[in-house]
Copies of this chain bind each other. A is one copy, B any other.
């Protein structure tokens, strides 16, 4: 059953309702498949207009959408208005990309007379949409990674129908957004199969959606556990399909000696990033690497003080809060951690307190349980004795969405080693600022080696996200009438 919950009080609002049945899910996928060929053949202009109309409809309903999102997530109006801004921005951004024509750009190799390998036929490399995309909404971004978020925008831009699974942590908002999408698709004169919506919180609903024969690819943002399980389902279908899972990560942030000079200011910035959205960001910094020594000690003291002053708001749901508490309890029980910030949360309060502890690089590397993400406002300070230590910490963390290097402005052999090590494990390497907040741009990469994502080549933020849903096809000696379509299916 699905039930809307008021996040700040934990109280149910209205009646519960049943999740989608397996028949509903198959019907939704089949409806998407039935229109996939025609939608793939629509022009870039048609799809661009659809994306802009979705953006405009979100803007028109802003007030009631944000109010409902706030009730179901407790994220607050400023944050939710900003997130809706971004969601609208990226729908329009994909429309701009479609208008620019890059999605349908082709690589053309003219025929060369003569025998191979020099001689060759005329080859035109095009891209075709994969077909219906199953999209799993995330709990922590009720607009930007939910029903009409980046994955839906990218799939629709590519010419793939989407079957969205709403997230059970904001079920009324999901329904309201889906209803808006249905209206816009209909008003655009497109068939309802272009946008389908299912809902449910059970494992069965997720598995059924990934297993629906009509589904051609899956986009998922969520937990490591859920994503890994569904990736396995996708790989074991009679016909395996691509599974684009963004599973979150630890996001190491290295404070190098040059940055320690600005200790107080950076510590405040970092504390804010750790507690942003109550730490419910997949790019939340979870490991802070600080050199041993007096300057490092001062930074750590400043960080602890700044973190102590933070007041995270209530988490998204009781389930997420319980997982956070279990993770912190695991850390509290560790004998190798030295606690720095560990206030108990006030009795009955749904707002968690931040948690910070310190550990040596050697202990961090040795203790596997310290390397698992704790989703929320908790971080570990890892103290290093050398660049070797810092590189070893990065290699231990392995795949991460981001690595941040503060103080690498100078070109030194040590910094070169760190940039290399960071590039080997992360999808994004930052040299200033904090990893929370992911700009929507052509150059963005929001992904990374496993376990940050299941397909490290794909990004789930930015305009390269569309590449996940387009498959190359080489046309050999194609007649003019085929080539006139510039790679779009007939």
Given contacts A123-B439, A125-B443, A240-B450, contact A428 B117 (CB under 8 A): no
- For residue A457, which residue of chain B has the nearest CB? B471
Indicate if the CB atoms of B459 and A472 lie closer than 8 Å: yes
Which of chain B's residues have a CB closer than 8 A to the CB of A477?
430-433
- For residue A115, which residue of chain B has the nearest CB? B82
Indicate if the CB atoms of B117 and A89 lie closer than 8 Å: yes
The smallest beta-carbon distance between A482 and chain B, in angstroms, is: 6
Binds B, one of A168-176, A181-189, A270-278, A418-426: A418-426
A445, A457, A476, A482 pick with most chain B CB within 10 angstroms = A476
- For residue A432, which residue of chain B has the nearest CB? B477
Q: Specify which of B40, B123, B443 is in contact with A108 (CB 8 Å cutoff).
A: B443
Residues 440-459 of A contacting B (Cβ, < 8 Å): 440-445, 447, 449-451, 454-457, 459
A347 at interface, CB cutoff 8 A: no
A266 at interface, CB cutoff 8 A: no
Indicate if the CB atoms of B429 and A474 lie closer than 8 Å: yes
A343 at interface, CB cutoff 8 A: no
- A477→B441 CA distance, assembly (Å): 14
Which of chain B's residues have a CB closer than 8 A to the CB of A121?
430, 432-433, 439
- A128→B419 CA distance, assembly (Å): 12
Indicate if the CB atoms of B420 and A476 lie closer than 8 Å: no
Given contacts A420-B490, A477-B430, contact A109 B437 (CB under 8 A): no
Residues 452-482 of A contacting B (Cβ, < 8 Å): 454-457, 459, 462, 464, 471-479, 481-482
Indicate if the CB atoms of B474 and A444 lie closer than 8 Å: yes
- A90→B462 CA distance, assembly (Å): 34
Indicate if the CB atoms of B86 and A433 lie closer than 8 Å: no
Which of chain B's residues have a CB closer than 8 A to the CB of A116?
82, 85-86, 437, 439
Indicate if the CB atoms of B82 and A474 lie closer than 8 Å: no
Interface flags, A86-111, vs B, CB<8A=1, else 0: 10011000000000000000111100
- A429→B433 CA distance, assembly (Å): 48
A399 at interface, CB cutoff 8 A: yes
Chain A count of residues within 8 A CB distance of the other chain:
83
Q: Specify which of B125, B409, B471 is in contact with A479 (CB 8 Å cutoff).
A: B409
Indicate if the CB atoms of A473 and B427 lie closer than 8 Å: yes
Which of chain B's residues have a CB closer than 8 A to the CB of A115?
82
Which of chain B's residues have a CB closer than 8 A to the CB of A427?
471-474
Which of chain B's residues have a CB closer than 8 A to the CB of A423?
126, 128, 473, 489-490
- A448→B468 CA distance, assembly (Å): 15
Q: Specify which of B117, B128, B457 is in contact with A472 (CB 8 Å cutoff).
A: B457
Which of chain B's residues have a CB closer than 8 A to the CB of A86?
116-117
- For residue A478, which residue of chain B has the nearest CB? B431
List chain A positions with a Cβ less than 8 A from chain B: 37, 40-41, 82, 85-86, 89-90, 106-109, 115-118, 120-121, 123-126, 128, 131, 232, 235, 239-242, 398-399, 408-411, 415-417, 419-420, 423-424, 426-433, 437, 439-445, 447, 449-451, 454-457, 459, 462, 464, 471-479, 481-482, 489-490
Known contacts A128-B423, A427-B471, A433-B477, then 10 further A-B pairs from the complex at CB < 8 Å, ordered by chain A residue: A82-B116, A109-B441, A123-B439, A409-B479, A410-B479, A415-B490, A423-B490, A431-B476, A445-B474, A457-B472
Can you list 29 pairs linking A and B with CB atoms under 8 Å apart?
Answer: A37-B424, A82-B115, A89-B117, A109-B442, A117-B440, A120-B441, A121-B430, A121-B433, A125-B442, A125-B444, A131-B424, A239-B398, A240-B450, A242-B456, A419-B489, A423-B489, A424-B489, A427-B473, A428-B473, A428-B476, A429-B473, A429-B474, A429-B476, A431-B479, A445-B472, A457-B457, A457-B472, A459-B472, A462-B474
